[in-house]
Structures are given as structure tokens and as C-alpha cells.
Amino acid sequence: MRSHKQPASAYGSEQTNQVVAADAGGMTYATPHVQPPSRHGVMTPPGQAASAADSPSARDCAFIGLQNAYRPHGGLSRLNGLAARRHARPEAQDRDVVGLVEAGSVFGFQWHADFWVPLFQFDFSGTQVAAAPQRVVAELGETVDGWALATWFVEPSCSLDGRSPIECLDLHLPDVLEAARAARFMMRR
């Protein structure tokens, strides 16, 4: 399992829909189970439903879920943060991380104004693109968008005995590749 644990400093507050912490490299972490505030800055009392305007969107909740799921596997990082610190410049290729995304060597997804990249796609040092995630993405096919890819890697799979592909990637790559082939087949139906 790849883990990039880094100290974080808080820059959010409970007056937003989420509490967010960021490290110096731009990785962010959402704190789960924070009750959203009301429009007037007062927390909604426990047991009382917030209005639709007070609750985060389904996409926001899904993003927080992805942040939580990827945290043990390196987390998520904004593309511009990776590019700024040249986090992912492979020695064998003369491309920066933006070029890697454009070439399809690394995937990510858009959320609000930022493009987010799951960091498990890089080796432990963060300087090389890991081969296993690339192979799995190739099996899934080019028609799957980044959001769907990010979700697929962290959802439990019946093909993997209820484990997620990212959990099995290092030790059971052939099984993950088979699960990706099965998922591709199911998407075509």
C-alpha cells in the first residue's frame, strides 16, 4: 500500500460545507461527518434536516467520499499543485504532469474549478508513473471518464471478493486486470 502521510494545516472552517486541511504541497483532506451550517452561519440542530440550499450537492458528497477513500493510498492532489512542484516528472519521459494527463498516462477528474489527480498513480517517491494503474486503466478502455475511473478504483468489487481494486493493485494485479476486463464488458452492454 502506498501512503504519503504528510502534516496538514487547517485552512477551512465549520462555516463551509466541509472542513478542509491542506499540506504545503497542495494535497487536501476533507474531514467527514461535519454538519453543514445554515445560511445564517448557525449550525443546524441535531435531528433537524437542513434545507436543500444548506446541504452539499451529491457531487460534493461524492468528492468528499473520494478524498476519504484515496487518503490511505496517497490521497488526491490538484493538478496545478502537482505541476507547480514537478511532482510527477518521469525520468524516462520528457513530459510534465500536465502532459502525462493530456497523453492519458495519468487520469484525474474535474471538481469545481480544479482538476484532481489520485496520487496512487505514482510510485512511492512520487517521481515515476506507476505501471500497474496504467495497465488497469488501459483494460478499462478510453471511453471511461476520469470521475468514473477514480470511483471504480475505490469501490468494492464482487470480482475481487468485496475488496476495491486499489486495495488489490499491488499484490493481486492479475485479478484487478480481470475485474477491469469484466467491468469494461459490463459497460458495453
User: What backbone phi and psi angles, to 5 degrees, belong to 178?
Assistant: -65, -40
CA 46 to chain centre: 30
Q: What is the C-alpha to C-alpha distance for residues 120 and 2, in angstroms, rounded to an integer?
A: 7
Q: What's the alpha-carbon Rg for the chain, to the nearest Å?
A: 18
Between the CA of residue 37 and those of 34, 49, 74, 177, what are the distances in Å? 9, 11, 30, 43
Task: Give the per-residue pLDDT at 90.
Answer: 47
Q: What is the C-alpha to C-alpha distance for residues 73 and 57, in angstroms, rounded to an integer?
A: 25
* Nearest CA among 107, 180, 115 for reference residue 145: 107
Going residue by residue through the chain (189 aa), what tens digit of pLDDT does each one get? 443 333 333 333 333 333 333 444 444 444 333 333 333 333 333 444 443 444 579 989 999 999 999 999 999 999 988 877 654 444 544 468 888 999 889 999 999 999 999 999 998 777 789 999 999 999 998 888 999 999 999 999 999 999 999 999 999 999 999 999 999 998 887
Q: What is the value of pTM for the model shown?
A: 0.67
